[in-house]
Amino acid sequence: MKTKAQKQEAIEEAKALIAEGGGAVFADVQSVTVAQLMKLRRAIRAEGGRMVVCKKRLLGVAMRDSGMPFEPGDYDGTVGAVFAPSGVEGISGPVVKFFKELKLENEKVLGGYDFAAKAPVEKSTVLFIGTLPPREVVLAQFMGMLQAPVRSFLYILQQKSQQS
C-alpha cells in the first residue's frame, strides 16, 4: 500500500510526462512477466518514450489535473501507460509489435490519448497506426510508385528508337 506522499509523487510524475506533450498508449500489463515488461520498456526507451505502471485512479487524477478529460478507470486490469513526446503515432509501433509477438495485441492494447488534441484515441486506431511501416519505408514505396510509370515510358521510348 502506497503512502499519501508516494501517491502524490506518482501523480506528479504522470503530470510531468503529460506536460511533455505528445500522447500516450494504454496497455493491459496484467499477466505479462517481468522479463517481457523489461523487453517492452527497452523498446519504448529506444523510441524516446517512457512506460509507467500506476493505479488507474492515480493516472486519472493526473490527467484531470492536466486538463485532459479522460478516465482510464474504464479499462480492465492493470494499465501501463506508455508516454511519448512524439505522440501516439511515434510509440504505438513498438507497443503493438511487442504484443503481436505475444499474439495478444487485440486483448492487451487498450487505446491511447492525444495530448495535443485533448482527445482519446480508439483501440482500433492505435492498432492500425502500430502496424504501419516506418516513415522511411513508406517514402521509399511512394518513390517506387512514382518511378514505375516513368521507367515504363522510358522503356517504350527506348524500344521505339531501336525500331527506327
How does pLDDT run across 99-112, given as a tens digit for each residue?
A: 888 888 788 888 88
pLDDT tens per residue, range 40-94 = 999 989 988 888 888 888 888 888 888 888 777 777 777 888 998 888 888 888 8
Q: What is the pLDDT of residues 12-44, one digit of tens each?
A: 888 888 888 788 999 888 888 899 989 999 998
Per-residue pLDDT band for 133 (boundaries 50, 70, 90) equals: confident
Distance of alpha carbon 140 from alpha carbon 1, whole angstroms = 52
Sorted by where each begins, the domain ranges of the chain are 4-132, 133-164
Apex CA 57: angle with CA 41 and CA 111, to 5°? Answer: 50
The residues, ordered by sequence, that sit 6+ positions from 108 with a Cβ below 8 Å of its Cβ are 27, 28, 29, 32, 99, 102
Q: What is the pTM of this model?
A: 0.77
Contacts (Cβ under 8 Å, ≥6 apart) of 126: 25, 88, 92, 95, 96, 109, 111, 112
- Write down the CATH number for the domain with range 4-132: 3.30.70.1730
Other beta carbons less than 10 A from residue 84's beta carbon: 27
Where do we find the cell 509489435? 97
Instruction: Say how many residues make up the chain.
Output: 164
